């Protein structure tokens, strides 16, 4: 996508009211040497997807930043843009020309509004002006511009007091070839790398608290994540499926496109129940999940599986059992939460908006036919022996064949 070459929606009028634009900063991408422009292109594409439907949307690359213009105030774009990985911070800005008078007038209006809205009363307000000039087309230096603008604002608003460190009000001006961008806020972005710049993985998404967080952490590292859920209808009811869809939809707010694969798991579980030592049921369910997920992952060109497992969280998550379960996967298994405490996971789940959904009541398929004492230090030979009594290939193929695929957003 040639985002940076998109034409301007309308030509600039020399002295109309200033336009609103969103200045988007990214930092880690800047470290990637030769790959930098690939990462930048991906970031722009993902921003465009996050903002789809916005009237008059235009995206541009300007010297180490992205610039978003639209026919709506930039403030309306900050929430969706702040869910694009790779973004370090965002500033809704007023887009101006290089004319100092015009800049002074806009800065005066901005400060007037902010004083009224954020600092009511007559108290002093510690403030500074910060200018970042990166074009020779604007002749004054950054420092000189800071002084001129600062002096003008101090004169106009007697409540302002210059304070260079930790001012309560900071007026910033970025001067680029394209124009000057005036703003007062830096809204933090999620950081990380643009989704899709580092491949694809398939996350085993249960209705629990952990796996959605594991998926999110994987996306944050630039990996596009699809989801697979094992669904044992009618032993678990439609409320679980609905919950899974809601989780996938919530996570879809963090990447351009999401796909949820819902695998009918009942037949596999019944076969395990009928043929294996009850103590091994949970481990064998988990091995079956890895086997089916690996198949779906290969079809979908995903290069790894992701789970929400962490050490010692439940009886089945001992190092022995993790190894025993992973043995059934033909792809690397990523476990972003492996060292997390539950408290840390819950905190993150709240922040990314999956916690309330995970907390809705719905039974999990692993509790179907659950034994009283699941094995804690499982042995591979025992698992393999039990599996030798099952037709793994037929069970796996049948489950994959009957898998339902749901896409978010629904239409391309
Ligand atoms: P979660 O909160 O993610 O369910 P958990 O701590 O409850 O995690 P388990 O229920 O033991 O842990 O599951 C471990 C991992 O196995 C999950 O994080 C998830 O990745 C995967 N998993 C478990 N059940 C399912 C399922 N029904 N569908 C898809 N994946 C599952
Ligand atoms: Mg669970």
List the CATH number of the domain containing 314.
3.40.50.620
Q: Does residue 173 share a domain with residue 229?
A: no
Strand partners, 67: 23, 60
Pocket test for ligand 1, best of 205, 207, 211, 352 (most atoms within 8 A of CB): 211
Q: Which pLDDT score, from 0 to 100, does residue 7 have?
A: 42
Cβ 85 vs Cβ 195: under 8 Å: yes
Q: Does residue 342 share a domain with residue 265?
A: yes
Q: Does residue 273 share a domain with residue 247?
A: yes
Query: Which residues form the domain of 383?
Result: 200-408
Cβ 248 vs Cβ 406: under 8 Å: yes
The pocket around ligand 1, CB under 6 angstroms, is made up of: 204-206, 208-211, 229-230, 289, 307-309, 313-314, 316, 364-366
Residues 6 or more apart whose CB falls under 8 angstroms from that of 285 comprise 230, 265, 268, 269, 272, 365, 366
Distance CA(126)–CA(28), nearest Å, equals 31
CA 12 to chain centre: 34
Q: Does residue 206 share a domain with residue 68?
A: no
CATH number at residue 29: 3.30.2130.30
Distance between Cα 389 and ligand 2 center (Å): 27
Distance CA(292)–CA(296), nearest Å, equals 6
Q: Which pLDDT score, from 0 to 100, does residue 16 have?
A: 42
Q: Which pLDDT score, from 0 to 100, does residue 81 have?
A: 97
Distance CA(369)–CA(45), nearest Å, equals 46
Residues 6 or more apart whose CB falls under 8 angstroms from that of 177 comprise 62, 63, 135, 137
State which ligand 1 atom lies nearest to the alpha carbon of 207: 4
Residue 193 lies in a domain: no
Distance between Cα 325 and ligand 1 center (Å): 12
Residue 195 lies in a domain: no
Indicate the pairing of strand 187-188 with strand 89-96.
Answer: antiparallel
Distance CA(304)–CA(227), nearest Å, equals 12
State which ligand 1 atom lies nearest to the alpha carbon of 316: 11
Q: Does residue 357 share a domain with residue 329?
A: yes
Task: Output the residue whose Cα is nearest ligand 1's atom 23.
Answer: 206
Q: Is the peptide bond before 234 cis (omega within 30 degrees of 0)?
A: yes
Task: Output the residue whose Cα is nearest ligand 1's atom 13.
Answer: 309
Residue linked to tokens 């963090």: 254
The number of the ligand nearest the C-alpha atom of 365 reads 1
Cβ 328 vs Cβ 293: under 8 Å: no
Q: Does residue 211 share a domain with residue 172?
A: no
Residues 6 or more apart whose CB falls under 8 angstroms from that of 303 comprise 199, 200, 201, 297, 331, 332
Residue 351 lies in a domain: yes
Of 130, 153, 188, which one is at a domain's C-terminal end? 188
Q: At residue 392, what are phi and psi to the nearest 5 degrees? A: -60, -40
Q: Does residue 218 share a domain with residue 92?
A: no
> What pTM does this model have?
0.90
Cβ neighbours, 10 Å, residue 312: 8
Q: Does residue 174 share a domain with residue 134?
A: yes
pLDDT tens string 143-202: 999 999 999 999 999 999 999 999 999 999 999 998 999 999 999 999 999 999 999 999
Distance between Cα 339 and ligand 2 center (Å): 17
Token duo for residue 26: 């990214």
Residue linked to tokens 């899974």: 244
Distance between Cα 208 and ligand 2 center (Å): 5
Q: Does residue 69 share a domain with residue 209?
A: no
Q: At residue 96, what are phi and psi to the nearest 5 degrees? A: -125, 170
Residue 218 lies in a domain: yes
Indicate the pairing of strand 169-176 with strand 125-133.
Answer: parallel
Residue 143 lies in a domain: yes
Distance CA(202)–CA(224), nearest Å, equals 9
Distance between Cα 45 and ligand 2 center (Å): 34
Q: Does residue 333 share a domain with residue 297?
A: yes
Strand partners, 60: 67
Q: Which pLDDT score, from 0 to 100, does residue 371 have?
A: 80
Residue 325 lies in a domain: yes
Which residues of the chain have a pLDDT value below 70? 1-18, 29-32, 313-316, 365-366, 411-412
Of 188, 209, 228, which one is at a domain's C-terminal end? 188
Distance between Cα 78 and ligand 2 center (Å): 34
Of 188, 208, 225, which one is at a domain's C-terminal end? 188
Q: Is the peptide bond before 409 cis (omega within 30 degrees of 0)?
A: yes
Q: Does residue 321 share a domain with residue 247?
A: yes
In angstroms and rounded to an integer, the radius of gyration of the C-alpha atoms of the chain is: 27
Torsion of CA 232, 236, 239, 244, to 10 degrees: -40
Residues with C-beta atoms within 5 A of ion ligand 2: 206, 208
Q: Does residue 253 share a domain with residue 125?
A: no
Domain count, the chain: 2
């Amino acid at each position: 996508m040639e985002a940076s070459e998109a034409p301007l929606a309308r030509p600039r009028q020399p002295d109309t009211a200033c336009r609103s634009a969103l200045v988007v900063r990214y930092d880690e991408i800047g470290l990637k040497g030769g790959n930098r422009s690939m990462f930048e292109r991906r970031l722009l594409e993902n921003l465009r997807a996050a903002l789809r439907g916005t009237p008059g949307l235009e995206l541009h690359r300007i010297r180490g930043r992205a610039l978003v213009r639209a026919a709506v105030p930039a403030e309306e774009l900050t929430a969706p843009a702040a869910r694009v990985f790779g973004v370090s911070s965002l500033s809704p800005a007023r887009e101006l020309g290089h004319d100092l008078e015009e800049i002074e007038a806009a800065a005066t209006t901005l400060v007037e509004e902010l004083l009224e809205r954020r600092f009511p009363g007559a108290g002093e307000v510690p403030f500074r002006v910060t200018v970042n000039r990166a074009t020779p087309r604007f002749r004054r230096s950054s420092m000189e511009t800071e002084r001129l603008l600062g002096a003008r604002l101090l004169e106009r608003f007697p409540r302002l007091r210059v304070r260079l460190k930790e001012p309560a009000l900071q007026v910033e001006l970025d001067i680029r070839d394209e124009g000057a961008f005036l703003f007062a806020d830096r809204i933090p972005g999620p950081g990380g790398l643009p989704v899709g710049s580092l491949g694809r993985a398939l996350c085993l998404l249960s209705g629990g608290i952990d796996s959605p967080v594991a998926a999110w952490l994987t996306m944050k590292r630039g990996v596009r994540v699809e989801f697979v859920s094992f669904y044992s209808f009618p032993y678990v009811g439609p409320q679980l499926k609905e919950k899974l869809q809601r989780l996938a939809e919530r996570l879809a707010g963090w990447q351009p496109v999401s796909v949820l694969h819902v695998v009918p798991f009942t037949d596999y579980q019944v076969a395990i129940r009928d043929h294996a030592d009850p103590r091994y049921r949970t481990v064998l369910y988990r091995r079956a999940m890895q086997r089916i997920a690996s198949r779906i992952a290969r079809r979908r060109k995903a290069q790894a599986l992701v789970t929400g497992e962490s050490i010692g969280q439940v009886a089945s998550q001992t190092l022995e059992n993790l190894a025993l379960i992973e043995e059934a996967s033909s792809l690397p298994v990523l476990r972003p939460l492996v060292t997390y405490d539950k408290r840390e996971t819950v905190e993150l789940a709240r922040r990314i908006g999956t916690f309330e959904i995970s907390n809705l009541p719905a039974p999990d398929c692993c509790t179907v036919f659950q034994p009283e004492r699941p094995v804690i230090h499982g042995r591979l030979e025992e698992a393999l022996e039990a599996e030798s009594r099952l037709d793994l290939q037929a069970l796996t193929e049948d489950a994959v064949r009957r898998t339902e695929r749901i896409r978010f957003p629904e239409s391309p």
